[in-house]
Amino acid sequence: MSRQRGKTPRKTNKRPSQTDPVEVYCRIRPLSNDNEEVCVKALSTNVVQLCPTEASHAYKMGNIKETQYTFQYVFDKYTSQKAMFDHTALPLVEDVLKGKNGLLFAYGITSSGKTHTMTGHPHDQGILPRCLDVLFNSLEEQQTKKYVFKPDKMNGFDVQSEADAMVERQRRDLMPKLMKTPQTPRSKDKGAFCDSGRVKDPSRVDGVEEDNNYAVFVSYIEIYNNYVYDLLEDLTYDPITGLKAPTSKNLREDSDHNMYVSSAVEVEVKSSEEALEVLWKGQKRRKVAHTALNTESSRSHSVFNIRLVQAPLDPLGEEVYQDKDKICVSQLSLVDLAGSERTNRTNNEGSRLREAGNINQSLMVLRTCIELLRENQKFGSNKMVPYRDSRLTHLFKNYFDGEGKVRMVVCVNPAGAEYDETVHVMRFAELTQEVQIARPQQVRFDIGLTPGRRRMNQQYKEKLAKMKEDGLEIPTPERMYSMGPPFPLMELFEAHDNATLLQLAQFLHDREKRRASLVPDLDTKQDQFRNQLMEIEEENVKLKGRLQQLESMLGDKDTEITRVGRRIRTLEKENRQLQSTAHAYEQERRELNYEVSEKDSKLTQLRDKRQKMRNQFEYQMQVNNQQWHKNMTAEKNKIAMEAAQEIAEKEQKLELLKSIVNNQAPLSSGSGSQYSSTPPITPKPRPRTQTISTTSSAKPKSRYIPPARSEPDLSIVQGGTQYGPKPAIRGRPTTRDTHTRRGASPPAVKPKPVVNPRYHRRSRSSHADIWIDHQSKGTVETGTILQPTLKKKKSVSKLEVADTKEATRYMLTHQTADSDGDVATNLIKGDIIPTATGGSAVIFKDVETLKQTSPGERKRKSKEQKPEENDGEWTDVETRCRQGIGNFLSSKKSKGSRV
């Protein structure tokens, strides 16, 4: 085998030694109207003449010169589709069977017969259906079963065994048919190409490699508006919007630098009917529109790819050789180009106009690539060919670089009105013939195995079947070699019978050639067998040494096992002892846990008992306090009454004494003695000073209680002696109330309201400036006495630049809690000054701290304590801290008074 191919051959930088020109064929379609003027005439099978008509633009401009163009072959209007196929496409099918690539595309203006040439109709098929017929006629029974070859999604193929292929056939073909319900049968539209009246092409290609297995894959794409679409892609159906639009595909380059359409669907077909069903499915989705020149004008370039995968059989001739590198892939691309057209003749608008522009642009890029290729080959230049300017040229760049044969069919409409467009087509077609394409190398499929394996396998199977029918014992299969057919007749009837001698010589030559091909195989087998024997002997020696090493290691292992066994028994004994100890510890732990639970229960009961006793004691103390207060009140009232009676008696005695001193005769009594007596003087009730005591269990807010104002004293002054209650000491309230004489009940005196004389005192921060009072959300109102008074202020919770334009001072309120839980409010103050950039800046210069504390707990007084002592105390503290550049300025503290 000279060269092994995987997919298509890799490109080389060496200049090919043999080249072939691009073969261009011209086909003239019949006129739709026989009375119409013609501008194209076929002078011979190779020359065509083009003459302008009076309706053409060239004739009007004075160009009436006739031109002739030479092609590979010229087909007139009487040429059949069969003759067209035999000259153009049949050699490409032969190359595909031999492992070579081929490209055939139809080129021409719109309505020139390109689609008819490529597809035709069922009773007179075109190039594409005939290629499929000839291909499957030539393969016959040499095709593999389905899914033996699988596309690897990277422009290559994988090979799998017959068993794996059968499993995949069941999964992909058999199971869907079994799962399909009979209520919803799926109708299959086979299309016009699959009708029973279709005339198949009976041609076939001889010389197909008999020891290879083949598989055919087809794909169908279109290039529309310079986008690549897969015509075989299964589109999902949306019940609301209908079928979803197809997605465009990308062009990729495989490992051998061959271009392919990524994610394109490749269908494995086993007959021409299946392939035509795929063709019909794609034809229904191809972009076709009605124009002024053609009722069914193709608006896209369609590409139908036929890929033939072949691989040799295994040495027994039973299955495909399981080696991916031995796979050979050849491709035949049949392209139906969209026709070039002029807008002033088709009157296209909207989307038709855009389609025509894209079609003409892609054809122009194709022409530019052909011209640059010709220039590079003719003048030896190295100009870059713009393949990437169009998807059409980018896809087929490998063919123009020498990866297969390229043929073009130029379809011509001979109508006189088409002269101006036909001239450009003829010039481009004649220019294309000058491009040289490297001749593809011959591919040989001999991989060193015995030829005729398939035939020998069939003979072996037939012999086994016959022996099975006769009841004979089936022998063990052995390797079979064949030297070819038996010798021909060697009898000479004449002395000059050269035909028999030549036939015998040819037979001997073939037999010697076959023997020469078998001798290397025999040598290879002998070398392989000798190598295997040497490998077995070396392996045997290695195994013997390894065996001895393992035996010594085994003895060491036995000793180690004995030692480890003794160690294990010792450890098991220790383990049992530890388990018994652990069991004892576990029992002790349970007992301790039980004791702990009992103690916890007792502690809980004791705690509950103490809590109950505490609650009872608190309740009893509360009752005793109430009773004590009640007894104290009664005792106080009793003492007050006794004191009032005593004072009244003393005053009565004093009056009597006054009367005696003033020589007043007492009035006479009933006993005959008369005394001078004055009526008893009832003293005016003196005012009562109310005692206000404050007790609280919670921490009240700080308040200032001013001293009570005293009422005027109504005591009587007699003889320089002052009678009546003692004046109350400032700040120390009396415990006893002042009652009226002789047991009179004390008058009800309302408590005077508490007035804070410093309530309206202003903070030192008050002035006439405009302040920004910045208090964040969640600031607690403390109610301290010394609050700053700001006449002009703007209260904000979030500072903004607009708020500082008119203000001059700034105060930020910040609250913290000290260790005692009291709230301390810090008033951070500063000046607002403008900046050079038009903004504002704040310079902090002062910090004031407002702190509020709770009074101390009220302590219970003993009986010996004087009633005038303080029962409670309220404090109001304000601390002001001024800080200017780190210096403490002042601190102020004020304290309330007792009432």
pLDDT tens for residues 179-202? 554 443 444 455 556 655 688 888
Q: Which of 793-802, 816-825, 833-842 has the highest mean pLDDT?
A: 833-842
Strand order from edge to edge, sheet including 67-70 = 40-42, 47-50, 67-70
Q: What is the pLDDT of residue 824?
A: 82
| Cα separation values, 501 from 486, 488, 504, 512, 562, Å | 16, 10, 5, 16, 88
Domain ranges of the chain: 95-438, 498-585, 770-859+867-888
State the CB neighbour count (10 A cutoff) for residue 86.
15
* Fold designation for 770-859+867-888: Immunoglobulin-like (2.60.40)
Lowest mean per-residue pLDDT among 103-107, 628-632, 674-678, 887-891: 887-891
Which residue did the predictor score with more confidence, 463 or 622? Answer: 622
State the CB neighbour count (10 A cutoff) for residue 800.
8
pLDDT bracket for residue 240 (50, 70, 90): low
- Residues, the chain: 899
Q: What is the pLDDT of residue 342?
A: 60
Tell the burial category of 674 from Cβ atoms under 10 Å away from its Cβ (0-12, 13-18, 19+). exposed
Lowest mean per-residue pLDDT among 11-15, 89-93, 330-334, 389-393: 11-15
The mean pLDDT value of the chain amounts to: 76
Structure tokens at 857: 């707990």
Phi/psi for 566 (5° steps) reads -60, -40
Q: Three-class SS of residue 722?
A: strand
Model pTM? 0.53
- Is the pLDDT score of 578 beyond 90? yes
Note the Cα 495 to chain centre separation in Å. Answer: 90
Q: For 89-114, what is the mean pLDDT? A: 91
Write out pLDDT tens, residues 506-559. Answer: 888 888 887 887 788 788 888 888 888 898 999 999 999 999 999 999 999 999
- Is the pLDDT score of 368 beyond 70? yes
Phi/psi for 680 (5° steps) reads -60, 140
In terms of Cα–Cα distance, which of 53, 657, 108 is closest to 335?
108
Q: What is the pLDDT of residue 691?
A: 34
Compute, in degrees rounded to 10, the torsion defined by CA atoms 601, 606, 612, 616.
170
Phi/psi for 302 (5° steps) reads -100, 140
For residues 847 and 501, what is the distance between their CA atoms, to the nearest angstrom? 132
Q: For 242-260, what is the mean pLDDT? A: 83
Write out pLDDT tens, residues 454-505. Answer: 888 888 888 888 888 887 766 655 555 666 666 776 776 677 777 778 888 8
- Is the pLDDT score of 218 beyond 90? yes
In terms of Cα–Cα distance, which of 434, 381, 438, 441 is closest to 13?
438
pLDDT bracket for residue 351 (50, 70, 90): low
Structure tokens at 379: 């003048």
pLDDT bracket for residue 347 (50, 70, 90): low
Whether residue 110 is annotated as binding a ligand: the answer is yes
Residues 6+ positions from 876 with CB-CB distance below 8 Å: 702, 703, 704, 784, 785, 852, 894, 895, 896
Lowest mean per-residue pLDDT among 425-429, 432-436, 832-836: 832-836
Residues 6+ positions from 151 with CB-CB distance below 8 Å: 157, 158, 217, 266
Note the Cα 494 to chain centre separation in Å. Answer: 89
Helix axes 90-97, 127-139, angle to 10 degrees: 40
DSSP codes joined into one string, 523-582: HHHHHHHHHHHHHHHHHHHHHHHHHHHHHHHHHHHHHHHHHHHHHHHHHHHHHHHHHHHH
Whether residue 112 is annotated as binding a ligand: the answer is yes
pLDDT bracket for residue 878 (50, 70, 90): very low
- Is the pLDDT score of 564 beyond 90? yes
For residues 60 and 694, what is the distance between their CA atoms, to the nearest angstrom? 128
- 8 A C-beta contact, residue 201 and residue 283: no
Whether residue 111 is annotated as binding a ligand: the answer is yes
Whether residue 17 is annotated as binding a ligand: the answer is no
Q: What is the pLDDT of residue 484?
A: 63
Q: For 273-280, what is the mean pLDDT? A: 92
Radius of gyration of the chain (CA): 62
Phi/psi for 326 (5° steps) reads -90, 0
Q: Three-class SS of residue 617?
A: helix
Write out pLDDT tens, residues 130-171. Answer: 999 999 999 988 899 899 999 988 888 999 988 888 888 888
For residues 417 and 429, what is the distance between their CA atoms, to the nearest angstrom? 20
Residues 6+ positions from 492 with CB-CB distance below 8 Å: 500, 501
Q: For 355-362, what is the mean pLDDT? A: 76
For residues 297 and 289, what is the distance between their CA atoms, to the nearest angstrom? 5
State the CB neighbour count (10 A cutoff) for residue 338.
27
Residues 6+ positions from 289 with CB-CB distance below 8 Å: 297, 299, 352, 355
Residue 899, CB-side half-sphere exposure with 13 Å CA sphere: 21
Residues 6+ positions from 235 with CB-CB distance below 8 Å: 243, 244, 246
Q: For 843-867, what is the mean pLDDT? A: 65
Name the residue type at position 519.
V
Phi/psi for 838 (5° steps) reads 95, 5
State the CB neighbour count (10 A cutoff) for residue 66.
10
Phi/psi for 221 (5° steps) reads -130, 165
Lowest mean per-residue pLDDT among 631-635, 742-746, 798-802: 742-746
Whether residue 115 is annotated as binding a ligand: the answer is yes
The angle subtended at Cα 693 by Cα 687 and Cα 696, nearest 5°, is: 160
For residues 898 and 875, what is the distance between their CA atoms, to the nearest angstrom? 10
Q: Three-class SS of residue 435?
A: coil
Q: What is the pLDDT of residue 566?
A: 93
- 8 A C-beta contact, residue 125 and residue 116: no
Q: For 574-584, what is the mean pLDDT? A: 94
The share of the chain scoring above pLDDT 70, in percent, equals: 72
Note the Cα 821 to chain centre separation in Å. Answer: 53
- 8 A C-beta contact, residue 109 and residue 425: yes
In terms of Cα–Cα distance, which of 309, 219, 330 is closest to 267?
219
Note the Cα 756 to chain centre separation in Å. Answer: 72
Structure tokens at 676: 């001078």
Q: What is the pLDDT of residue 222?
A: 92
Residues 6+ positions from 831 with CB-CB distance below 8 Å: 808, 809, 810, 842, 843, 845
| Cα separation values, 838 from 772, 811, 822, Å | 19, 22, 42
- Is the pLDDT score of 673 beyond 80? no
- 8 A C-beta contact, residue 286 and residue 296: no
Write out pLDDT tens, residues 7-66. Answer: 444 444 444 457 888 999 999 998 888 788 888 999 999 999 998 887 777 777 877 788
Q: What is the pLDDT of residue 194?
A: 60
Whether residue 109 is annotated as binding a ligand: the answer is yes
Residues 6+ positions from 411 with CB-CB distance below 8 Å: 27, 29, 106, 107, 108, 112, 113, 114, 117
Phi/psi for 599 (5° steps) reads -65, -40
Write out pLDDT tens, residues 811-827. Answer: 988 888 776 667 788 88
- 8 A C-beta contact, residue 363 and residue 335: no
Q: What is the pLDDT of residue 134?
A: 94
| Cα separation values, 802 from 795, 796, 797, 887, Å | 13, 12, 14, 32
- 8 A C-beta contact, residue 100 and residue 404: yes
Which residue did the predictor score with more confidence, 435 or 60? Answer: 435
Which residue did the predictor score with more confidence, 876 or 258? Answer: 258
CA torsion through residues 801, 802, 808, 812, sign = negative
In terms of Cα–Cα distance, which of 861, 841, 526, 894 is closest to 703?
894
Q: Which CATH number fits domain 95-438: 3.40.630.10, 3.40.640.10, 3.40.350.10, 3.40.850.10?
A: 3.40.850.10
The share of the chain scoring above pLDDT 90, in percent, equals: 28
